[in-house]
Amino acid sequence: MSKPIIAIVGRPNVGKSTLFNKLIGERRSIVEDVPGVTRDRIYGETEWCGKKFIVIDTGGIEPKSDDIILSQMKFQAQVAIEDADVIVFMCDVRTGLTANDRDIAIMLKKSGKPIVPCINKCDSVGHLPYEFYEFYELGFETEPVAVSSVHGSGTGDLLDACVEAIGEWDYTEEEDDSVKVAVIGKPNAGKSSIINKMLGEQRLIVSNIAGTTRDAVDTVLENTYGKFTMIDTAGIRRQSKINDNIEKYSVLRAHMAVERADVCLIMIDAGTGITEQDEKIAGIAHEAGKASIIVVNKWDSIEKDNHTVNEFTKKIREALAYMTYAPIIFVSAKTGQRIGDLFERILYVQNQTNTRISTGMLNEVLGEATMRTQPPTDKGRRLKIYYMTQISVAPPTFVIFCNSAELFHYSYQRYIENCLRETFGFTGTPIKLIIRERGEDSKK
């Protein structure tokens, strides 16, 4: 079998995300002392006794709630339960055994999966409070395990219980060869909806309430186009509107998602058009040197004529003048319009950002460029460009050696960049030029 999956489920605010972070050894799930912070399934990996596990954090289950978000959180938790090889049912010793705990226990027993009851906030595992023993009433085959997710005590016993519940297994380590795609944009631009359409299943919570997605969520997708890891991110708001810690963490997660990505999909709402905030969000991907595609969503919802596409494209190009290299695609998450084209574009720009050009070919282009437009002069001194070489990809990065970095004005760098694009393409990816004076250490 592949790596076993451990799903952590339970009521809101019992410490599931804190335990998840402790098990995977990093702060991936947002942790705040308010119910309902984790909404989608969050995936991570842990290792215990030489064996690796996938761990899923889930949103809290409110068995009898009619709230749209809470009901979808319950649905997502149920999907995680179906995926899991073993379920860690987390309860809070401080509140004791509640009616909701009993209802969730009944739901879990129906799944037929191995259940490990995990009783959190037992800060002194050696001296368990009376309330701990109430949880034996739930009647699971595995005895309750006392943990403190904040301090990490009891987590070894918990993983031992999970290993025992799963039984023996063998797995082969697989190299992650997927294309990692971060979907970024303002709140309510349709990021989760576009991933759901690409997946063909209701994988992420979708609603018209801004800020629904708060964590960055990874989902592996494999189809005829290839293998992709889709990273859904929280909508990025203006700094002035980020008025609580959870929103700040969400923006941080979006920045981190961009850093992890191979390709960024910059979502723009066709109904509102491109805004100043869209410019700033696109700038995150550009500054990180990521290959990017500008995705105009909800294209089905606006009235169009023969000029609409050109006019919209012109506005985007004017607003995002710093990333004219990024292709624009008009889609509809609702109808599925051009979703197949989106996969093809992702693969194309991924290939472009990983393109390597030989030093010989680069210097042919450089020679033609300097003959066509002479390098600039200043006070009788002319810029001399000796040669150029590529040192890395993603983004394609080039070192140009010259006699004076000061004379190599930004405008002439842009000219050289445009010549490279005319010859080699580099569609969808930034290009980085590093200027070195002859004799300067190129590794600085």
The CB-side HSE value for 132 (13 A sphere, CA atoms) comes to 19
CA 425 from chain center: how many Å?
A: 27
Coil, helix or strand for 238?
Answer: coil
The whole-number pLDDT of residue 192 equals 84
Hey, which residues does 220 pair with through a beta bridge?
229
Lowest-confidence segment of 95-99, 204-208, 363-367 by average pLDDT? 204-208
**pLDDT tens digits for range 14-56:** 989 889 989 888 654 544 444 444 444 467 788 888 888 888 8
> What number of other Cβ atoms are within 10 A of residue 31's Cβ?
20
pLDDT at 205 over 50: no
Residue 377 parent element (H or E): strand 377-378
Cα–Cα distance for residue pair 56/36, rounded to 1 Å: 16
Nearest Cα neighbor of 219 from 246, 183, 252, 245 is: 183
Coil, helix or strand for 99?
Answer: helix
Parallel/antiparallel/unpaired status of strands 115-120 and 86-92 = parallel
The whole-number pLDDT of residue 65 equals 62
- Contact of 260 with 43, CB cutoff 8 Å: no
The whole-number pLDDT of residue 17 equals 87
Higher pLDDT, 147 or 207: 147
Most trustworthy range by pLDDT among 122-126, 214-218, 358-362: 358-362
> What number of other Cβ atoms are within 10 A of residue 422's Cβ?
11
How many helices, marked H, and strands, marked E, lie in the chain?
A: 11, 17
CA 406 from chain center: how many Å?
A: 39
The whole-number pLDDT of residue 237 equals 56
Q: In the predicted model, what is the mean pLDDT of the chain?
A: 83
Question: pLDDT grade, residue 114 (50/70/90)?
Answer: very high
DSSP summary character for residue 357: -
> What number of other Cβ atoms are within 10 A of residue 120's Cβ?
24
Q: For the whole prediction, is pTM greater than 0.75?
A: no
Tokens read off for 285: 């991907």
Cα–Cα distance for residue pair 297/192, rounded to 1 Å: 12
**pLDDT tens digits for range 258-317:** 888 999 999 999 999 998 888 988 998 999 999 999 999 999 989 988 999 999 999 999
Please enumerate in sequence order all residues whose Cβ is within 8 A of that of 172, keeping only pairs 6 or more positions apart, or say none.
Answer: none
The whole-number pLDDT of residue 120 equals 94
Higher pLDDT, 247 or 278: 278
